Chains A and B, each alone.
Chain A
């Protein structure tokens, strides 16, 4: 039995639930929009042993019967407001609810895609970059600074081929900077800015499910293909193959960050080098699955169905 935790307002969660239904896999959906009001939760930790159950109007789930969990926490704004009409801080209540759920997931011995401990690594991209070092993947030249002069020098060094992206998990997209924009960036901000050399080549998105790899090649002239269609730029995706060493490194990195499911952003340069950008712990895989027919969701369903024990 798979437990899905999230909200149907999130299209990835909705897609995953549809695939579970289509595949005929037993699952229970914990709808965070109405959690906990419409559920009865009973959990106990006694002498380091965990037991518990979750009950909705339609079903009763003993946590022992869960073979895997898929989690995409619903944003606070998409949930029911607190019952006390503003007397209680909703964000505090939501935080307590989320920590409660994560406490249960921490206690389960089955795979969870993904536990919070792995997810938070994505809150610092330069930290992730440091962790990627030492693998066969290359690291694009990166500068994190609040020093405009240093940024200018970096810009020169990269012959003007520089992108700016968030250092934190609050993504604002990736954009190539002109010299004027670079100056403006430092005039507007006092905090640090992350700059990166614009690596030439083809974007790849690698989805790792346990030890399975799905590599997708993204053909687009956009600097950030996620926003290409908004800018009227064409995007085409196709399945790709990775050299075995690169594939192994993607699996190793996923494990290193404590994940069982990840979306890794790579770029293959014209000289055949593979550059790593980030490891996404909650990948919106449906874009890639729809475009290529790669069965990412099925791999995940199978992985979460087989009740592998956590080591």
Chain B
């Protein structure tokens, strides 16, 4: 029995399910803990045990789960009217789900460290030390609430910049005078993160010890595959998505996604990635626990 835990990732969940079924594996889909299921986690000095009882009568012990793929942590929609009442219940459920994920004895993709589970987004600066350890470079960036400093940075990198809020996955090209006026207004509220972005952007998806690309890439990027795998291992993950670009100074990482959406990958590659994820679970060759042979 394999487990798909967390809120489904559009586009991937269906492929994962199809891949599980093609291999004749039974899958249990648990987007969230609901009142319809009974969940039991026991912890003591002597050990732990966990049970899940579904309303259709099926019951599962932890040892019956052969592998798990963790999708997005459930979150409260920000526009919910009674958000404060919901907040406590949500945080209790997430704390429970997180403990469950760490108590699973089977291979788990990804067994997220707390920083990933509990942040809406882990921004690039948090990875910079890991990138350096893996001989990778992050794209140059400036964080400032001083408009002149932001202008200076843009000028230094040939005016090829994007405004990349640290708490969001979105980014916005800054080109026109109007863009700069908007950016200065934003800087009155919070320091603005500007990043050097030189198109085209390439997407790499690391699954265990293998790197998949969203398009044909120059050798200068394929040369980085070992480092990208090393980065995933260093972050405690075995499935990540990395945005890269090539500047005059060489390849640069401009974003790392611990909850890959594969939105920029074609359906054929997504299917291959889904199969590879299952392969990781079945073979148990997870980079976080068993280093790659290469």
Please give the residue numbers on chain A whose beta carbons come within 8 Å of chain B beta carbons, in ascending order: 36-37, 39-48, 50, 52, 82-84, 88-89, 92-93, 95-97, 99-100, 102-104, 106-107, 116-117, 120-121, 123-127, 129-131, 133, 138-147, 150, 166-170, 172, 189-194
Contact (Cβ within 8 A) A44 B39: no
Instruction: Determine how close the nearest CB of chain A comes to the CB of B89; give it in whole angstroms.
Output: 5
Given A95-B120, A192-B39: 15 more A-B contacts, CB < 8 Å = A37-B188, A45-B140, A46-B140, A83-B189, A96-B165, A103-B193, A106-B126, A106-B129, A123-B98, A124-B96, A126-B43, A143-B40, A167-B92, A167-B96, A190-B35
B292 CB within 8 Å of chain A: no
B248 CB within 8 Å of chain A: no
B191 CB within 8 Å of chain A: yes
Size band of the interface chain B makes with A: 35 or more
B260 CB within 8 Å of chain A: no
In the complex, which residues of chain A have a beta carbon less than 8 angstroms from the beta carbon of B166?
Answer: 96, 99-100, 103
In the complex, which residues of chain B have a beta carbon less than 8 angstroms from the beta carbon of A92?
Answer: 167
B224 CB within 8 Å of chain A: no
Contact (Cβ within 8 A) B95 A126: yes
> Which of B44, B98, B119 meets A127, CB within 8 Å?
B98
> Which of A82, A89, A124, A193 meets B99, CB within 8 Å?
A124
Task: Select the residue from B95, B113, B115 with max chain A CB neighbours within 10 A.
Answer: B95
In the complex, which residues of chain B have a beta carbon less than 8 angstroms from the beta carbon of A83?
Answer: 188-189
> Which of A41, A44, A47 meets B145, CB within 8 Å?
A41
How many angstroms between the C-alpha atoms of A43 and B190 in the bound complex?
13
Given A45-B125, A124-B114, the answer on whether A143 and B41 have CB atoms closer than 8 Å is yes
In the complex, which residues of chain B have a beta carbon less than 8 angstroms from the beta carbon of A84?
Answer: 189
How many angstroms between the C-alpha atoms of A106 and B39 in the bound complex?
37
B149 CB within 8 Å of chain A: yes
B87 CB within 8 Å of chain A: yes
Task: Select the residue from A82, A168, A194 with max chain B CB neighbours within 10 A.
Answer: A168
In the complex, which residues of chain A have a beta carbon less than 8 angstroms from the beta carbon of B141?
Answer: 44-45
B279 CB within 8 Å of chain A: no
In the complex, which residues of chain B have a beta carbon less than 8 angstroms from the beta carbon of A46?
Answer: 140
Contact (Cβ within 8 A) B99 A48: no
Contact (Cβ within 8 A) B190 A93: yes
Contact (Cβ within 8 A) A47 B249: yes
Instruction: Determine how close the nearest CB of chain A comes to the CB of B128; give it in whole angstroms.
Output: 6
How many angstroms between the C-alpha atoms of A193 and B88 in the bound complex?
12
Contact (Cβ within 8 A) A130 B103: yes
**1/0 contact string of B101-127 vs chain A (CB within 8 Å):** 011000000000111011110010110
B144 CB within 8 Å of chain A: yes
Given A97-B191, A167-B95, the answer on whether A117 and B126 have CB atoms closer than 8 Å is yes
How many angstroms between the C-alpha atoms of A192 and B132 in the bound complex?
41
**Residue in A closest to B96 when the chains form the complex, CB atoms:** A192
**1/0 contact string of B57-91 vs chain A (CB within 8 Å):** 00000000000000000000010000000011101
Given A45-B141, A96-B190, A106-B126, the answer on whether A169 and B39 have CB atoms closer than 8 Å is no
B213 CB within 8 Å of chain A: no
Instruction: Determine how close the nearest CB of chain B comes to the CB of A94; give it in whole angstroms.
Output: 8
Given A48-B137, A150-B38, the answer on whether A169 and B123 have CB atoms closer than 8 Å is no
In the complex, which residues of chain B have a beta carbon less than 8 angstroms from the beta carbon of A120?
Answer: 114-115, 117-119
Instruction: Determine how close the nearest CB of chain B comes to the CB of A61; give it in whole angstroms.
Output: 14
In the complex, which residues of chain A have a beta carbon less than 8 angstroms from the beta carbon of B94?
Answer: 123-124, 168
Closest 5 CB pairs of A and B: A103-B125, A126-B99, A168-B91, A124-B95, A168-B95
B23 CB within 8 Å of chain A: no
How many angstroms between the C-alpha atoms of A140 and B102 in the bound complex?
18
Contact (Cβ within 8 A) B35 A127: no
Contact (Cβ within 8 A) A123 B91: yes
Contact (Cβ within 8 A) A145 B40: yes
B33 CB within 8 Å of chain A: yes
B45 CB within 8 Å of chain A: yes
In the complex, which residues of chain B have a beta carbon less than 8 angstroms from the beta carbon of A97?
Answer: 190-191
Contact (Cβ within 8 A) A39 B145: yes
In the complex, which residues of chain B have a beta carbon less than 8 angstroms from the beta carbon of A125?
Answer: 95
Contact (Cβ within 8 A) B43 A166: no
In the complex, which residues of chain A have a beta carbon less than 8 angstroms from the beta carbon of B48?
Answer: 130, 133
Contact (Cβ within 8 A) A144 B99: yes
Given A102-B126, A106-B129, A192-B92, the answer on whether A44 and B43 have CB atoms closer than 8 Å is no
**Residue in B closest to A102 when the chains form the complex, CB atoms:** B126
Instruction: Determine how close the nearest CB of chain A comes to the CB of B191; give it in whole angstroms.
Output: 5
Could you list some 25 contacts between A and B, CB below 8 A? A42-B142, A43-B191, A45-B128, A45-B140, A92-B167, A95-B120, A95-B167, A96-B167, A99-B166, A103-B125, A106-B129, A107-B125, A107-B129, A123-B91, A124-B99, A127-B98, A127-B102, A133-B45, A147-B53, A168-B94, A170-B87, A170-B91, A189-B89, A191-B92, A192-B96
